[in-house]
Amino acid sequence: MNTIQSDNYPIYFENSIDELANFVKQGHYSRFFILTDENTAEHCLPLVKSKIEDQDNFDIIEINAGEESKDIDFCIGVWKMLIDFGADRKSLLINLGGGVISDLGGFAASTFKRGIDFVHVPTTLLSQVDASVGGKTGIDIDSIKNIIGTFTQPKAVFIELGFLDTLPPRQILSGLAEMLKHGLIQDAAYWHQLKASDLTKPSAELVHRSVAIKNKITIEDPHEKGIRKALNFGHTIGHAVETWSLINDKDHLSHGEAIAIGMICEAYLAHKKTNLPAGDLQEITATLNSLYPRYTIEESSFDTLFEYMKKDKKNQSGNINCTLLTNIGVCNIDNICTEAELRDSLLYYINL
């Protein structure tokens, strides 16, 4: 698989951990730090360490696994560890983990001493096809997702598909939601290819294609003034459902599970507002519904969900904004949706 060139940085797909080792051995950095969580420390760090055995200028920073770690307290923890380990402006942070590690680590690095270099080594499907590409970093406050953050590009991304071997099936499904989204917003042929594939273990070709789609969109519009909003398909409602679940469920929805619900609801909105054909709505609904477990949304939670949607940073002037499809593979950004329309779309999901 070819290396993809992003906004001044490469995204490696082959011999990626060797490429990472070469990168740190080039000598540009005084020290480097590997940010892991307990799972990536167990499953992914050994391979990385085996390639940098001859290096003695690095330290490991390990945090707890899970979205709960993507907050300011853990960020302060990372900053303090960097200070304690003597990080200077010529230091490098290697984010070895899923989207939580890349968002938190990217944010911590982009603000530490006004910004030190960082690279991503994404270890979940979701972070490989989505979170590690495009330069968004961030943390949550009070379960409001990604409310604090920066646009800062990594110096490189190293995608090692072998890391997915230890990933639980539920996490594969989570990343798959973003891949399906890439097809729905931009590439009907890719959507059909995905539907026809073994989705329990997406191939290198499929991962590469998703990265290429995300990369193309984010290069065109790095700061989300226009076309990058296409990537928000499913996320206006999906993020609200995800926030609800984070607060209320012991075993909360994964990001992708929430986005799959959001895509069903927003496909319904698209059918009503941007003429997505009924057949396309049916196809999207049936595909997502067969892949993802059903989730109970009570009508009594709607008002809270609308409150979350209103707080979404994608909104302007208090209006709730959605990216909607006009056909499978074609989308339309900046559609203002009323509470009544959003309510109907949630009812559509509930009544499936």
Ligand X SMILES: NC(=O)c1ccc[n+]([C@@H]2O[C@H](COP(=O)([O-])OP(=O)(O)OC[C@H]3O[C@@H](n4cnc5c(N)ncnc54)[C@H](O)[C@@H]3O)[C@@H](O)[C@H]2O)c1
User: Does 255 interact with ligand X (rule: CB under 6 A)?
Assistant: yes
Catalytic-labelled residue, pool 215, 232, 321, 335: 232
The site that binds ligand X (CB under 6 A) totals a number of residues, namely: 31
Q: Which of 17, 35, 131, 206 binds ligand X (CB under 6 A)?
A: 131
3-state secondary structure of 326: strand
Is there a catalytic annotation at residue 228?
A: yes
Give, in order, the Cα–Cα distances in Å from 41 to each of 36, 61, 172, 276, 333: 6, 9, 19, 45, 39
* Burial annotation 93-117 (CB, 10 A radius, 16+ → b, else e): bbbbbbbbbbbbbbbbbbbbeeebb
Task: Verify binding: residue 190, ligand X, rule CB under 6 A.
Answer: no
- List the interface residues with ligand X, window 193-222 (CB under 6 A): none
Residue of the chain from 19, 103, 187, 312 that contacts ligand X (CB under 6 A):
103
- Exactly one of 48, 75, 121, 126 binds ligand X (CB under 6 A); that residue is 126
Q: Which of 146, 153, 86 is nearest to 113 (CA)?
A: 86
Tokens representing 303 are 């008002």
Nearest Cα neighbor of 261 from 224, 236, 280 is 236
Q: Of residues 228, 252, 271, 273, which has the active-site annotation?
A: 228
Q: What's the angle, vertex CA 346, arms to CA 334 and CA 252, rounded to 5?
A: 100
Residue with tokens 């203002």: 336
Nearer to ligand X, 31 or 229 (CB): 229
Q: Does residue 96 belong to the site contacting ligand X (CB under 6 A)?
A: no
Q: Is 214 a catalytic residue?
A: yes
- Residue in 19, 160, 178, 257 annotated catalytic: 178
Verify whether residue 239 is a known catalytic residue: yes
Q: Where in 31-91 does DSSP place strands (E)?
A: 32-37, 58-63
* Contact footprint for ligand X (CB under 6 A): 37, 39-40, 43-44, 65-67, 70, 97-101, 103, 123-124, 126-127, 130-131, 134, 136, 145-146, 163, 166-167, 171, 174, 255
Active site residues: 114, 136, 178, 214, 224, 228, 232, 235, 239, 255
